[in-house]
Structure 1
Amino acid sequence: MQRWSDLTDVPPDLGPSVVTIGNFDGVHRGHASVLRRMALDAQAAGCTSVAVTFTPHPLQVHRPDDAPPLLTGDVDRLDLLEGTGLDAVLLLPYTLEFARQTPEEFVERYLVGALHARTVVVGRDVRFGWQNSGDLSTMVALGERYGFDVEVIDDITPSATADEGSAEDAAADALRRRWSSTWVREALAAGDVRQAARVLGRPHRIRGLVVHGDARGRELGFPTANLAQDAAGMVPADGVYAGWLRRTRHADGSPVATDDPVLPAAVSIGTNPTFDGVQRRVEAYVLDRTDLDLYDEEVVLDLVERLRPTLRFDSVDELLTQMHADVARVREVLEGAASA
């Protein structure tokens, strides 16, 4: 998949394209279903399939205090978009200046002038241009003016994508609402990473650099990898989770050379109330490993199941007893997930 961040990156001889526009936060099952179908239809028509998306999220620019936590950072979002079969993604920097374009200026410059759109795929609630003044009727009118078709995609519900999950998932979700990033955020806010995974089509991921912490876990025999505060991916409710840790790259961008890149982990999220902590942290203990040096490495955590909420213990001995129980439960959960 080609990745463009500016109009100058787009090949000048790009042929006719099928284009869609959106934030695609999380690239959940609804997104993936639409994008896969779009990519196949574009291929059949001899067109290039292109998704136009933005960084940062527009709400982070217009209403930063009200902007929702992002499910994925740009690295994972682009990787997930590539997995749908798209030919290209145009990731545009979103600024106040960019937002001042009229709907027609946006369409003429990006969709027509650069991407040579033959078809534009949008939802019924599409909004674009200055103060979101462009809507579906605007896009249709502009299509008539500039010579492209507009294809409207209705909301995708669990029943429409039942073949993409298990029969159990489909039955559990059949009466629920459409796939959406909001649904994922609600599940994560409640600590329900299993439900989040049903909507996403995969475990929820947090990506970040490993930094130095208090070293308290190492003193207790459970050394943890502490993620930096700017880790990408919404942090779910406080608690202890079973998950997988994958080593990706060093801080300088070079890949990590290892024979075991994916490791089982117990993940703790919270303020560590037993030791009167105040800063919320994400830290992971790799099962049965006290020899790892992950400092200054980027890692990703894929969360499989929440085991319990964060608790305050009256003594270190009580905490250690619970930590041993947590590790045993994490092992059981991940062995079950690996064999499923």
Structure 2
Amino acid sequence: MTVFHRNEKKEPLPDSLKGGVVAIGNFDGVHRGHQSVLNRALEIAESRGLPALVLSFEPHPRTVFRPDQPVFRLSPAPMKARLLEALGFKAVIEYPFDLDFSGRSADEFIQSVLKDWLHVSHVVTGFDFHFGKGREGGPAFLMAAGEANGFGVSLVDAFRDENAAVISSSRIRQLLADGDVAEVAGLLGYRYTVEGEVIKGAQLGRTLGYPTANMALPPESALKPGIYAVRLRRPDGMLHDGVASFGFRPTVTENGEALLETFVFDFTGDLYGEVCSVSFFGFLREEMKFSGLEPLVEQMKTDEAEARALLAGVKPLGELDAKIAF
């Protein structure tokens, strides 16, 4: 899939992608609610023989308006692109969002982005999508603009889960803060997954018989510290089950920075420098401080056994989960 970063030079879009069906939104997490919008765009594109594209915004608008409170991203741009590709989109356009862009009129967005640059034939978005200075562009504005400029518009209602509750990114963030990755998977439609470069840690795990692949998650990550059953994917696509600790390692350090440390089952080798992904299948226990290394190792053996048992019976939640975590 092609990822475009449009800048002020307004580089032309390839002719093969012009006149497509465009899903517009931030889509942080690409959860089941987002997928109701995205799948509608894919269906329309397929029925008309047109390319399906996603128009998103980087960085997250909330981070631009409140830089001192960066939002906990469920799917940073590279992960989001990977999810959108797995769904079937041909390209994602990561439009730069800044204060200047937020101050432009809704009509300018329609004319300069949707009409003159993308040459859209159809737009699909959520029923509550707003755009332009002061959020002046809403559903009625978009529908009228489509009629005036020759493109269709489909607005998709809020998607609700089996308990009739609306699925939202903020709801999923709170569940991750609670460590409930099983509930999160049900709302996402796939196992929650993070991605990062494997870095060197203190290498204490090697001496304990539990070498780990370490990743530094973004500081705004609100994932609950604890022990998780996980699956790690290497850049070559190889999958490995494992058990991961996310947190601050209170037994061996004080005031340390949060790290995700994954012990990969039945693997010997060097992962340093590789950009790997880790999918979370289950929360095993909270992070604890032990009286020494011996009780820590005994608990790690128990964690490993529990993770192996949990992962032995897992099955894909659906097609997207199968592509991401299986």
When normalised by structure 1's length, the TM-score is 0.85
| Matched position secondary structure for 2:11 | helix
Question: Quick one: which of 48, 52, 57 aligns to 1:54?
Answer: 57
Q: Shift of the alpha carbon at 1:339? A: 9.5
In 1, the alpha carbon distance for the partners of 2:290 and 2:29 equals 35
Check if 1:4 corresponds to 2:12: no
Check if 1:326 corresponds to 2:313: no
In 1, the alpha carbon distance for the partners of 2:149 and 2:315 equals 52
Partner of 2:227: 240
Question: Quick one: which of 205, 209, 224 aligns to 2:197?
Answer: 209
| Matched position secondary structure for 1:139 | helix
Q: Is the 8 A contact 1:58 1:94 kept in 2?
A: yes
Residues 10-65 of structure 1: per-residue CA shift (max 9 Å, x gap)? 12575533222101111111222321222121221343322210111111111123
Partner of 1:171: none
Check if 1:199 corresponds to 2:177: no
In 2, the alpha carbon distance for the partners of 1:124 and 1:21 equals 11
Partner of 1:251: none
Q: Is the 8 A contact 2:127 2:139 kept in 1?
A: yes
Q: Map 1:223-302; keep pairs closer than 5 Å.
A: 223-230=211-218, 234=221, 236-248=223-235, 261-278=238-255, 279-289=257-267, 291-302=268-279
Partner of 1:252: none
Q: Shift of the alpha carbon at 1:101? A: 1.6
| Matched position secondary structure for 1:47 | coil
Matched letter for residue 22 of structure 1: G
| Matched position secondary structure for 1:26 | coil
Q: Is the 8 A contact 2:37 2:126 kept in 1?
A: no
Matched letter for residue 314 of structure 2: A
When normalised by structure 2's length, the TM-score is 0.89
Matched letter for residue 97 of structure 1: D
Matched letter for residue 177 of structure 1: A
Q: Map 1:24-63; keep pairs closer than 5 Å.
A: 24-63=27-66
Q: Map 1:91-240; keep pairs closer than 5 Å.
A: 91-158=94-161, 174-230=162-218, 234=221, 236-240=223-227
Q: Is the 8 A contact 1:183 1:199 kept in 2?
A: no
Compute the RMSD of aligned alpha carbons: 2.2
In 2, the alpha carbon distance for the partners of 1:132 and 1:57 equals 16
Q: Shift of the alpha carbon at 1:268? A: 0.1
In 1, the alpha carbon distance for the partners of 2:57 and 2:209 equals 44
Residues 258-280 of structure 1: per-residue CA shift (max 9 Å, x gap)? xx821111100111111243221
Matched letter for residue 231 of structure 2: W
Matched letter for residue 5 of structure 2: S
Partner of 1:163: none
| Matched position secondary structure for 1:273 | coil
Matched letter for residue 191 of structure 1: G
Q: Shift of the alpha carbon at 1:202? A: 1.0
Partner of 1:162: none
Matched letter for residue 99 of structure 1: S
Question: Quick one: which of 76, 84, 95 aligns to 1:73?
Answer: 76
Q: 207-216 or 45-54: which moved more?
A: 45-54
Q: Shift of the alpha carbon at 1:300? A: 0.9
Residues 240-270 of structure 1: per-residue CA shift (max 9 Å, x gap)? 000011111xxxxxxx5xxx82111110011
Matched letter for residue 156 of structure 2: I
Q: Which runs of 5+ in 2 are unaligned?
A: 318-326
In 1, the alpha carbon distance for the partners of 2:155 and 2:120 equals 15
Q: Which runs of 5+ in 1 are unaligned?
A: 159-173, 249-255
Q: In percent, how many aligned pairs have the same letter? A: 35
Aligned residues: 313
Q: Is the 8 A contact 2:12 2:117 kept in 1?
A: no
Matched letter for residue 196 of structure 1: V
Question: Quick one: which of 306, 312, 325 aligns to 1:335?
Answer: 312
